[in-house]
Structure 1
Amino acid sequence: MASASFRALRAATVPAKAIAGAALLVLAGCAPGQEVAGAAPHGNSALQEKLFAKGVKRFIFSDWAGPALPVWTYRAAGTPADAPVLFIFHGALRDADNYVDQWLDLARRYKIVLIVPEFSKASFPGARSYSHGWFTEKDGMPRPPEKWSFAVVEPIFAEVRAREALNAQRYSLYGHSGGAQFVHRFILAGGGPHMARAVSANAGSYAMTDPAVKWPFGLAGLPEGLWHPKSVFALPVTVLLGTEDIDPHHHSLPRQPEAMAQGPYRLARGQTFYARARAVAKSEGVPFAWTCGLVRGVGHDNGGMAPVAVRVLFGKTALAPGADCAPVEEAR
């Protein structure tokens, strides 16, 4: 597989449109890049109309080599051009509209510009095509780097900066559940050149920093040239875990043998992932800037995690890089 990192891909440089992307544009009733005033082809139409009434925007993004996809954005009145930009990644239900809804009040309060890509099951089938990076086709054949799902982040950032006339030079990431799987794997694969910091909340499984375990559960098979522990561990990343996300029988908990080896439920798996990463950083002799935060009394619930995640990203907390997982407290 190509050794070039997707970090080097320039934003919005691929004009080609996939057939699946064209079909999505027809369903949405719009041209590439055009804003959509009505409900999306998928999701809760009543909720979406409410979001539009509150100033949420949605457009179809197709200026990359992969499938066209809807992108939801929100910039509350009074949010300045130099406001922080936050990508939010939804879970396996692909319910981007719900994630937008759960972040609206926080975006207004913290003056944040939201970007929420929607990875539909039709265009991005299964975890392989979304949260695992889409490095290969179903038959195992490699995909070019510009078609990896991770490669869409930077060009979307460039597009929204232009649309909203933003001055922000960097963006932050937040993902919950399947979205957290996307976020932490994106980071392990090098992240994006304009990424500032990230929160991975309640992922169901992880790519352990273990070269003996095959991707997406470890680093074996990760495309050549992507894994750079010194730069990855220097990134300000927080593994955020609900203390009540402890259901070993949760309906969406990954149960592959490699996932089960990480722990019986999400809380344990997140703690295992963080501890393993810290140990690898120590063995490599490189600085470790990651933190691990616990959210008391919250289970597998994006709505419960988001108010704490926004403080981790844009407020002040007492989490210390490299320390054991600890409850998120306000910094004194």
Structure 2
Amino acid sequence: MGIDRPAAAAPSHREAVKVVADTPLPVTGAAGAGVFRLYVSRDWSKPDPSVTRAVTVIHGRLRNAVVYRRSAETALVAAGPEAQAETLLVTPQFLADQDIPARDLPPDTLRWTAEGWMGGEPATGPAPVSSFEALDAIMDRLADRALFPNLRQIVIAGHSAGGQVVQRYAAAFRKDAALARLGVRMRFVVANPSSYLYFSADRSTPTDPKACPDVDRWKYGLQDRPPYAADRDAPTLEAEYVARDVVMLLGAKDADPNHRALDRSCAAEAQGPNRLARGLNYFDYLSARHPDGFRHVLRRVAGVGHNGDAMLTSPCGLRALFDAPGCDAP
């Protein structure tokens, strides 16, 4: 007779990471400096004229960058030899407070609260550097013409919590003009996030702000946004966001309203009952507000639920990351 055993507990984002990315990147923000950790697929400390595309993939809430690095590598192989020859992969890791003592990391290592990195909040140490400033440091390295003289495109993608990062970063992005002067195109790939940043009070489920005070606060709305996003007014942020190259990837089966990692706060619930519905609602929201010239693309990934590897390596994922053929239907 078999013995019933309790199911293993699902990993928690409040636990320390098991593996820390191996490449340090110094970051200097408006309020100080620290060292960010990431993986890169090539030595990016010396000139590499073969690189024409850089793809940055951001992990989910478990901060498991090593897992997302493998997914990015698998996707790159599937994209074919030409993409492999011309693409640099970057996989950042947003470490949290608990990771520093657990992994015996140096005190200058940047870390955030377990949720703060998802919305561009300041780091808890060694200086209040925004997680978006850490991403800016990656953009600055990639835009260095002494290192990458032939770079033509940067793609930044994220799944789940990483999708939340990319969506808010795309809304607050500051590097358009500098990259445009270099002839570098930006694309933001937002895959299966739990919530989105709204630019107005409109929601699919009307919500009383008195009963749900966070519904219009950052990261769900523009009230009380962090310093990184506070230098421009709401109309400017929205106009810049809708003009950017943004691809929304939604798993056609990511529709579980009780998924263990789904944001169930009232602010998130106001956007819809599950990730698929929230993504569709958000796309409709922006389409209605910008009927002319709205350039964002939404693609459903058939047969896939909340699975970052399956999303990124799907034909739609390959098209979003590498402009590979396939996934023609919106």
TM-score strictly above 0.5: yes
For 2:233 and 2:51, the matched residues in 1 are separated by: 31
Q: Where in structure 2 are the equivalents of 1:141-152 lying within 5 Å?
A: 147-152=129-134
> Offset of 1:164 from its aligned partner?
9.6
Partner of 1:84: 53
Partner of 2:70: 101
In structure 2, which of residues 181, 184, 189 is the aligned counterpart of residue 199 of structure 1?
189
In structure 1, which of residues 42, 53, 72 is the aligned counterpart of residue 39 of structure 2?
72
Check whether the contact 1:190–1:226 (CA below 8 A) recurs between aligned residues.
Answer: no
In structure 1, which of residues 311, 318, 321 is the aligned counterpart of residue 319 of structure 2?
311
Which residue type is aligned with residue 304 of structure 1? A
For 1:103 and 1:190, the matched residues in 2 are separated by: 23
Check whether the contact 1:206–1:216 (CA below 8 A) recurs between aligned residues.
Answer: yes
Unpaired runs of at least 5, structure 1? 1-40, 49-57, 138-142, 319-327
For 1:190 and 1:159, the matched residues in 2 are separated by: 16
Check whether the contact 2:251–2:311 (CA below 8 A) recurs between aligned residues.
Answer: yes
> Offset of 1:219 from its aligned partner?
2.0
Q: Does 1:218 align with 2:212?
A: no
> Offset of 1:192 from its aligned partner?
3.0
> Offset of 1:87 from its aligned partner?
1.0
> Offset of 1:316 from its aligned partner?
5.6
Check whether the contact 1:233–1:290 (CA below 8 A) recurs between aligned residues.
Answer: yes
> Offset of 1:199 from its aligned partner?
0.8
For 1:330 and 1:316, the matched residues in 2 are separated by: 14
Cα gap change, 1:114/1:260 in structure 2, threshold over 3 Å: closer, same or farther?
Answer: same
For 1:164 and 1:71, the matched residues in 2 are separated by: 21
For 2:72 and 2:145, the matched residues in 1 are separated by: 21
Q: Does 1:172 align with 2:124?
A: no
Which residue type is aligned with residue 84 of structure 1? R
Check whether the contact 1:88–1:175 (CA below 8 A) recurs between aligned residues.
Answer: yes
For 1:64 and 1:274, the matched residues in 2 are separated by: 35
> Offset of 1:293 from its aligned partner?
0.6
For 1:133 and 1:197, the matched residues in 2 are separated by: 18
Cα deviation digits, residues 26-61 of structure 1 (max 9, x gap) = xxxxxxxxxxxxxxx94358xx8xxxxxxxxx3111
Q: Does 1:125 align with 2:124?
A: no
For 2:145 and 2:239, the matched residues in 1 are separated by: 35
Partner of 1:246: 255
- Aligned residue pairs: how many? 258
For 2:148 and 2:278, the matched residues in 1 are separated by: 37
For 1:73 and 1:163, the matched residues in 2 are separated by: 18
For 2:60 and 2:233, the matched residues in 1 are separated by: 24
> Sequence identity, in percent?
26
Check whether the contact 1:243–1:267 (CA below 8 A) recurs between aligned residues.
Answer: yes
> Offset of 1:170 from its aligned partner?
4.2
Query: Which range is displaced more, 302-311 or 197-206?
Result: 302-311
Q: Where in structure 2 are the equivalents of 1:17-56 lying within 5 Å?
A: 42-44=17-19
Cα gap change, 1:316/1:278 in structure 2, threshold over 3 Å: closer, same or farther?
Answer: farther
In structure 2, which of residues 236, 239, 249 is the aligned counterpart of residue 230 of structure 1?
239
For 1:120 and 1:278, the matched residues in 2 are separated by: 35
> Offset of 1:315 from its aligned partner?
2.1
Unpaired runs of at least 5, structure 2? 1-15, 98-110, 180-184, 203-215
> Offset of 1:211 from its aligned partner?
5.2
Output the aligned Cα RMSD: 2.9
Which residue type is aligned with residue 186 of structure 1? Y
For 1:256 and 1:317, the matched residues in 2 are separated by: 38
Which residue type is aligned with residue 315 of structure 1? D
TM-score of the two chains, using structure 2 as the length reference: 0.70
Check whether the contact 2:251–2:276 (CA below 8 A) recurs between aligned residues.
Answer: yes
Check whether the contact 1:230–1:287 (CA below 8 A) recurs between aligned residues.
Answer: no
For 1:75 and 1:215, the matched residues in 2 are separated by: 36
TM-score of the two chains, using structure 1 as the length reference: 0.69
Cα deviation digits, residues 127-175 of structure 1 (max 9, x gap) = 22x11110698xxxxx98xx22111223223335669932215411110
